[in-house]
Structure 1
């Protein structure tokens, strides 16, 4: 069978011989069921512990979180957009405190695109404030 000849020997030897292609694919799939559960656990831990560090940019941070959610979708685990918005908000550092409080006081809920745009805008404002603060601390330039 052509499929078996293209598979790594380690995997090929672990799968019983099958006549039909579909049976062979099912046997391969069964070999990876356990690893899917382990991947879900790994992704959950990664998603829970990831925090925005300020180095890569808030947009990249949000994109990483969305990518993790997309991996869950591939394993038949759905995470709603509303939950993801709140989850991302909790992953933001304390500098975003007033921003998060402002969001929580609003009646409307943001979509991911709105969250991303607002976070990027907030990040720019925070960086601008930090540079102004640094200028004031250093005093006037001569």
Structure 2
């Protein structure tokens, strides 16, 4: 039951995570088969023909009795599992969303209705993940290993949406997001013919970061591009040594970026 408690409430923007937790819960309680297995079909009772001999008819009756018993057991098992799955799903969805989903007899059909309703949300979520992947930048917080693992985790979230990224592409994304202190390291990788996998990438990046730390006394201050200029500092440095400054009336100051029209 603890696995059911870990299922997040479906609110609309977390469909992928909710679906994964639902699948995991069904597997752990061993009812996942009901999602892919249709309801058992009731066997048709035999009808005795006028030309049937007693022995042949008795055999057919025994066979049907065996089929009927097997059907009753399988049908009861299927109905129970289907009922449990529907109850779990409905109790992990916000009431407003549950009310917008038509009632279904099977958990398979109900999951399909939910999936079709949240297809748009999944596309939006995928776009957000891709934007985050291509804009991520390593700043030194947490260490390079944790950073690469976080990038890999973001990539894994795209797999349920059929947007699997190859490890080679992710490796280049990681390299593109590293600060300029890693430039020589990245160039050395690009000129060698052998390609790395993710484990090799993490091992080599950690080794390179440790090497840079040892070279810089145990710490690294990764530089960031800073386009803002400290105008007060520039003005003070220019006026240094020129005697006391006369009081100037304050004026509204603003910075004009390059290629910006006023």
TMscore range, shorter length: 0.7 to 0.9
The change in CA–CA distance for 1:74 and 1:133 in structure 2 (over 3 A counts) is closer
Runs of 4+ in 1 over 6 A off after TM superposition: none
Matches within 5 A, 1:47-58: 47-58=133-144
User: Which consecutive residues of structure 1, in runs of 5 or more, have no partner in the other structure?
Assistant: 135-142
Q: With the length of structure 1 as denominator, give the TM-score of the two structures.
A: 0.87
Partner Cα distance (1:133, 1:35) in 2: 43
Q: Does the 8 A contact of 2:138 with 2:147 survive in 1? A: yes
Matches within 5 A, 1:100-111: 100-111=186-197
1:13 aligns with 2:90: no
The change in CA–CA distance for 1:59 and 1:133 in structure 2 (over 3 A counts) is closer
Give the aligned partner of residue 138 of structure 1: none
| CA deviation vs aligned residue, 1:78-130 (integer Å, no higher than 9, x gap) | 21111111111111110001100111110111111111000000000111112
* Rg larger for: 2
Partner Cα distance (2:219, 2:152) in 1: 33
Stretch moving more, 114-123 or 24-33: 24-33
Partner Cα distance (2:219, 2:163) in 1: 45
Specify which of 74, 82, 89 is matched with residue 168 of structure 2: 82
Give the aligned partner of residue 238 of structure 2: none
Matches within 5 A, 1:1-142: 3=86, 5-6=90-91, 7-131=93-217
Partner Cα distance (1:49, 1:77) in 2: 18
Stretch moving more, 19-28 or 84-93: 19-28
Partner Cα distance (2:123, 2:218) in 1: 49
Partner Cα distance (2:147, 2:121) in 1: 26
SS, match of residue 203 in structure 2: helix
| CA deviation vs aligned residue, 1:34-78 (integer Å, no higher than 9, x gap) | 110000010011101111111210001100110011001121112
The change in CA–CA distance for 1:47 and 1:21 in structure 2 (over 3 A counts) is same
Measure how far apart 1:25 and its partner are. 1.5
Stretch moving more, 33-42 or 3-12: 3-12
User: Which consecutive residues of structure 2, in runs of 5 or more, have no partner in the other structure?
Assistant: 1-82, 221-262
SS, match of residue 55 in structure 1: coil
**Bigger RCO of structures 1 and 2 (CA < 8 A, at least 6 apart):** 1
